Amino acid sequence: MKSGDPKNIAVYPGSFDPVTSGHIDIIQRAKPFFYSLHILVAENPSKSTLFSIDERVEMIKSATSAEKNIIVSSFSGLVVDYARKVNAKAIVRGLRAVSDFDYEFQMATMNRRLAPDIETIFFTTRGKFFYISSSMIKSIAQNGGDISSFVPESIEQKIINKFK
Ligand code: COA
Protein backbone atom coordinates (compact mmCIF):
# COMPACT_ATOMS: atom_id res chain seq x y z
CA MET A 1 0.00 0.00 0.00
CA LYS A 2 1.35 3.46 -0.89
CA SER A 3 1.70 6.21 1.71
CA GLY A 4 -0.62 8.39 -0.44
CA ASP A 5 -3.46 5.89 -0.18
CA PRO A 6 -6.02 7.26 2.34
CA LYS A 7 -6.53 3.69 3.56
CA ASN A 8 -2.91 3.54 4.72
CA ILE A 9 -3.57 4.45 8.35
CA ALA A 10 -1.48 3.77 11.46
CA VAL A 11 -1.90 4.31 15.19
CA TYR A 12 0.92 5.38 17.51
CA PRO A 13 -0.30 4.68 21.07
CA GLY A 14 1.35 5.67 24.33
CA SER A 15 0.86 7.35 27.67
CA PHE A 16 2.68 10.51 26.54
CA ASP A 17 2.90 11.88 30.10
CA PRO A 18 4.26 14.15 28.69
CA VAL A 19 5.15 13.76 25.00
CA THR A 20 8.93 14.11 24.53
CA SER A 21 11.24 15.04 21.67
CA GLY A 22 11.89 11.30 21.36
CA HIS A 23 8.20 10.68 20.66
CA ILE A 24 8.10 13.56 18.18
CA ASP A 25 11.10 12.08 16.38
CA ILE A 26 9.23 8.76 16.01
CA ILE A 27 6.13 10.61 14.73
CA GLN A 28 8.16 12.53 12.13
CA ARG A 29 9.97 9.44 10.93
CA ALA A 30 6.87 7.21 10.85
CA LYS A 31 4.63 9.78 9.14
CA PRO A 32 6.07 9.48 5.58
CA PHE A 33 5.13 5.79 5.50
CA PHE A 34 1.43 6.42 6.11
CA TYR A 35 -1.33 8.60 4.73
CA SER A 36 -2.49 9.45 8.24
CA LEU A 37 -1.11 8.74 11.66
CA HIS A 38 -3.33 8.66 14.74
CA ILE A 39 -1.51 9.57 17.93
CA LEU A 40 -3.48 7.77 20.60
CA VAL A 41 -3.22 8.85 24.21
CA ALA A 42 -4.21 5.57 25.78
CA GLU A 43 -5.31 5.14 29.38
CA ASN A 44 -2.95 2.86 31.23
CA PRO A 45 -4.66 2.09 34.57
CA SER A 46 -1.41 0.73 36.01
CA LYS A 47 0.29 4.13 35.58
CA SER A 48 -0.61 7.21 37.57
CA THR A 49 -0.08 10.25 35.41
CA LEU A 50 0.92 13.83 36.12
CA PHE A 51 -1.09 15.28 33.24
CA SER A 52 -4.77 14.58 32.56
CA ILE A 53 -5.76 12.89 29.32
CA ASP A 54 -6.97 16.23 27.92
CA GLU A 55 -3.71 17.96 28.82
CA ARG A 56 -1.68 15.20 27.16
CA VAL A 57 -3.79 15.41 24.00
CA GLU A 58 -3.41 19.22 23.92
CA MET A 59 0.37 19.03 24.39
CA ILE A 60 0.73 16.60 21.46
CA LYS A 61 -1.56 18.76 19.32
CA SER A 62 0.53 21.86 19.98
CA ALA A 63 3.78 19.97 19.31
CA THR A 64 2.52 18.52 16.01
CA SER A 65 0.46 21.46 14.73
CA ALA A 66 2.78 21.89 11.72
CA GLU A 67 2.36 18.25 10.61
CA LYS A 68 -0.30 17.24 8.11
CA ASN A 69 -2.60 14.25 8.55
CA ILE A 70 -1.83 13.77 12.21
CA ILE A 71 -4.89 13.03 14.33
CA VAL A 72 -4.53 13.20 18.10
CA SER A 73 -7.12 11.51 20.28
CA SER A 74 -7.62 9.55 23.48
CA PHE A 75 -9.12 6.16 24.16
CA SER A 76 -9.66 4.02 27.21
CA GLY A 77 -10.07 0.54 25.68
CA LEU A 78 -7.78 -1.76 23.77
CA VAL A 79 -5.46 -0.19 21.22
CA VAL A 80 -6.53 -2.80 18.64
CA ASP A 81 -10.18 -1.79 19.09
CA TYR A 82 -9.30 1.83 18.39
CA ALA A 83 -7.19 0.71 15.42
CA ARG A 84 -10.16 -1.23 14.02
CA LYS A 85 -12.48 1.72 14.59
CA VAL A 86 -10.31 3.97 12.41
CA ASN A 87 -9.42 1.17 9.93
CA ALA A 88 -5.72 1.31 10.81
CA LYS A 89 -3.51 -1.39 9.35
CA ALA A 90 -0.54 -0.80 11.65
CA ILE A 91 0.47 0.08 15.20
CA VAL A 92 3.68 2.11 15.47
CA ARG A 93 5.98 1.84 18.47
CA GLY A 94 9.42 3.24 19.23
CA LEU A 95 12.19 1.00 20.55
CA ARG A 96 14.87 2.54 22.72
CA ALA A 97 17.20 0.17 24.54
CA VAL A 98 17.22 -3.64 24.75
CA SER A 99 15.26 -3.21 27.97
CA ASP A 100 12.21 -2.11 25.92
CA PHE A 101 12.31 -5.27 23.88
CA ASP A 102 10.63 -7.83 26.20
CA TYR A 103 7.66 -5.60 26.95
CA GLU A 104 7.27 -4.46 23.35
CA PHE A 105 7.59 -8.01 22.03
CA GLN A 106 4.90 -9.23 24.45
CA MET A 107 2.60 -6.36 23.58
CA ALA A 108 3.07 -6.81 19.81
CA THR A 109 2.48 -10.55 20.10
CA MET A 110 -0.67 -10.08 22.17
CA ASN A 111 -1.98 -7.40 19.83
CA ARG A 112 -1.40 -9.72 16.85
CA ARG A 113 -3.30 -12.45 18.68
CA LEU A 114 -6.19 -10.04 19.29
CA ALA A 115 -6.06 -8.57 15.78
CA PRO A 116 -4.06 -10.68 13.29
CA ASP A 117 -4.77 -8.20 10.51
CA ILE A 118 -3.00 -5.32 12.30
CA GLU A 119 0.80 -5.30 12.19
CA THR A 120 3.07 -3.65 14.78
CA ILE A 121 5.93 -1.68 13.20
CA PHE A 122 8.92 -0.59 15.29
CA PHE A 123 11.11 2.44 14.76
CA THR A 124 14.41 2.48 16.59
CA THR A 125 14.97 5.64 18.59
CA ARG A 126 17.59 8.08 17.36
CA GLY A 127 20.76 7.98 19.48
CA LYS A 128 20.29 11.35 21.12
CA PHE A 129 16.85 10.31 22.44
CA PHE A 130 17.92 6.83 23.48
CA TYR A 131 17.95 7.55 27.20
CA ILE A 132 14.92 9.87 27.43
CA SER A 133 11.76 8.88 29.25
CA SER A 134 8.76 10.91 30.37
CA SER A 135 9.53 10.04 34.02
CA MET A 136 13.07 11.38 33.76
CA ILE A 137 11.85 14.62 32.22
CA LYS A 138 9.32 15.07 35.04
CA SER A 139 12.05 14.42 37.59
CA ILE A 140 14.41 16.95 36.00
CA ALA A 141 11.65 19.59 35.78
CA GLN A 142 10.55 18.95 39.36
CA ASN A 143 14.08 19.61 40.55
CA GLY A 144 14.55 22.78 38.52
CA GLY A 145 16.75 21.26 35.78
CA ASP A 146 16.84 22.24 32.12
CA ILE A 147 14.46 20.12 30.01
CA SER A 148 14.68 22.24 26.85
CA SER A 149 16.56 19.69 24.77
CA PHE A 150 14.22 16.83 25.72
CA VAL A 151 10.76 18.24 25.01
CA PRO A 152 9.13 20.27 22.22
CA GLU A 153 9.49 24.01 22.82
CA SER A 154 5.72 24.52 22.75
CA ILE A 155 5.17 22.42 25.88
CA GLU A 156 8.31 23.15 27.93
CA GLN A 157 6.72 25.88 30.03
CA LYS A 158 3.59 23.82 30.67
CA ILE A 159 5.71 21.10 32.23
CA ILE A 160 7.70 23.59 34.32
CA ASN A 161 4.48 25.27 35.50
CA LYS A 162 3.08 21.96 36.69
CA PHE A 163 5.71 21.88 39.42
CA LYS A 164 5.34 25.51 40.54
N1 COA B 1 11.17 8.76 23.26
C2 COA B 1 11.11 9.03 24.57
N3 COA B 1 10.50 8.24 25.46
C4 COA B 1 9.94 7.14 25.00
C5 COA B 1 9.96 6.78 23.65
C6 COA B 1 10.61 7.66 22.76
N7 COA B 1 10.69 7.40 21.48
N8 COA B 1 9.32 5.62 23.50
C9 COA B 1 8.90 5.27 24.71
N10 COA B 1 9.29 6.18 25.62
C11 COA B 1 9.11 6.14 27.07
C12 COA B 1 7.94 6.94 27.54
O13 COA B 1 8.33 8.25 27.83
C14 COA B 1 7.54 6.17 28.79
O15 COA B 1 8.31 6.62 29.86
P16 COA B 1 7.77 6.51 31.36
O17 COA B 1 7.60 5.04 31.66
O18 COA B 1 8.82 7.16 32.14
O19 COA B 1 6.45 7.24 31.41
C20 COA B 1 7.93 4.72 28.48
O21 COA B 1 8.83 4.81 27.39
C22 COA B 1 6.83 3.84 27.99
O23 COA B 1 5.76 4.64 27.60
P24 COA B 1 4.77 4.44 26.42
O25 COA B 1 5.46 4.23 25.13
O26 COA B 1 3.86 5.58 26.48
O27 COA B 1 4.10 3.10 26.77
P28 COA B 1 3.20 2.75 27.99
O29 COA B 1 3.76 1.51 28.53
O30 COA B 1 2.99 3.85 28.94
O31 COA B 1 1.80 2.56 27.29
C32 COA B 1 0.28 1.50 25.80
C33 COA B 1 1.67 1.59 26.34
C34 COA B 1 -0.59 2.70 26.11
C35 COA B 1 0.45 1.42 24.33
C36 COA B 1 -0.30 0.21 26.40
O37 COA B 1 -0.42 0.33 27.78
C38 COA B 1 -1.63 -0.10 25.81
O39 COA B 1 -1.68 -0.61 24.71
N40 COA B 1 -2.73 0.21 26.53
C41 COA B 1 -4.08 0.04 26.06
C42 COA B 1 -4.68 -1.28 26.51
C43 COA B 1 -4.33 -2.37 25.56
O44 COA B 1 -4.54 -2.31 24.37
N45 COA B 1 -3.79 -3.43 26.14
C46 COA B 1 -3.36 -4.59 25.40
C47 COA B 1 -1.92 -4.44 25.00
S48 COA B 1 -1.22 -6.03 24.98
> Catalytic residue at 23?
yes
> Catalytic residue at 134?
yes
Which residue has a Cα nearest atom 9 of ligand 1? 94
Residue from 133, 138, 149 whose mutation best tests the ligand 1 pocket (most atoms within 8 A of CB): 133
> Catalytic residue at 96?
yes
**Residue 3 confidence (pLDDT) above 80:** no
Query: Residue 149's pLDDT is what?
Result: 95
Chain centroid to CA 121: 13
The residue that leads in pLDDT, 147 or 3, is: 147
Distance, in Å, from the CA atom of 38 to the CA atom of 91, rounded to the nearest integer, reads 9
| 34-60 pLDDT per residue, tens | 999 999 998 888 889 999 999 999 999
Distance, in Å, from the CA atom of 130 to the CA atom of 54, rounded to the nearest integer, reads 27
Query: What domains sit in the chain, N to C, each tagged with a CATH number?
Result: 9-130 (3.40.50.620)
Query: Residue 37's pLDDT is what?
Result: 98
Which residue type sits at 93? R
Query: Residue 1's pLDDT is what?
Result: 62
Residue (of 90, 132, 63, 127) closest to 5 by Cα position: 90
Q: What DSSP state is assigned to residue 82?
A: H
Q: What is the three-class DSSP state of 70?
A: strand
| 119-155 pLDDT per residue, tens | 999 999 898 888 899 999 999 999 999 999 999 999 9
Which residue has a Cα nearest atom 43 of ligand 1? 78
Separate counts of helices (H) and strands (E) for the chain: 6, 5
Choose, from 47, 52, 128, 139, the residue flagged as catalytic.
Answer: 47
